[in-house]
Amino acid sequence: MKFILKNLAVILLSVYLAGCATGPKFSEISASFATVSPDKGRIYIYRNSALGAAIQPEVRVNDEITGKAVANGFYYIDRAPGNYKIKTSTEVERQLSLVLEKGQTRYVRLNVSMGFFVGHVYPELVENSIGEKEIQQCSYTGK
């Protein structure tokens, strides 16, 4: 019985770790990012939790796939000022609308909630002071 429980624990740990981001941490790499063009703004999209690590839906910004909702991961996109809809979809679609202005930085946290069959990943706009703090230990998953 002990042997079975040990093997099960190893398998569960492996699945958990496989679902987490593994790139360099924000705190290690952010200084190397190009500065935002004066005519654009930047949106950081991050998931600072490992809850439901295997659930990694695509993230769409105005219907363009920009990345995945990887546990403990982040990426960023630079865009022209305007209105943006950020969507994720598992068994239901979740959407966030935001306005981006020239030179502005926005932080979108991807949260996980329980669903009927699978968890739901939903975007939430957070204050810059919160986003700047929460993203520090997330790993870069961008291109």
pLDDT reported for residue 78: 97
Instruction: Note the pTM of the prediction, 2 decimals.
Output: 0.82
**What's the 3-state SS for 16-63?**
HHHCECCCCEHHHHHHHCCCCCCCCEEEEEEECCCCCCCCCCEEEECC
**Which pLDDT score is estimated for 59?**
96
Task: Please compute, for residue 107, the number of CA atoms within 13 A of its CA located in the half-sphere on the CB side.
Answer: 18
Output the pLDDT for position 9: 38
The pLDDT tens digits along the chain (143 residues) read 554 444 433 333 444 444 566 688 999 998 899 999 999 999 999 999 888 888 899 999 999 999 999 999 999 999 999 999 999 988 788 999 999 999 999 999 999 987 666 778 999 999 999 999 999 999 999 87
Domain residue limits, the chain: 2-140
State residue 114's pLDDT score: 77
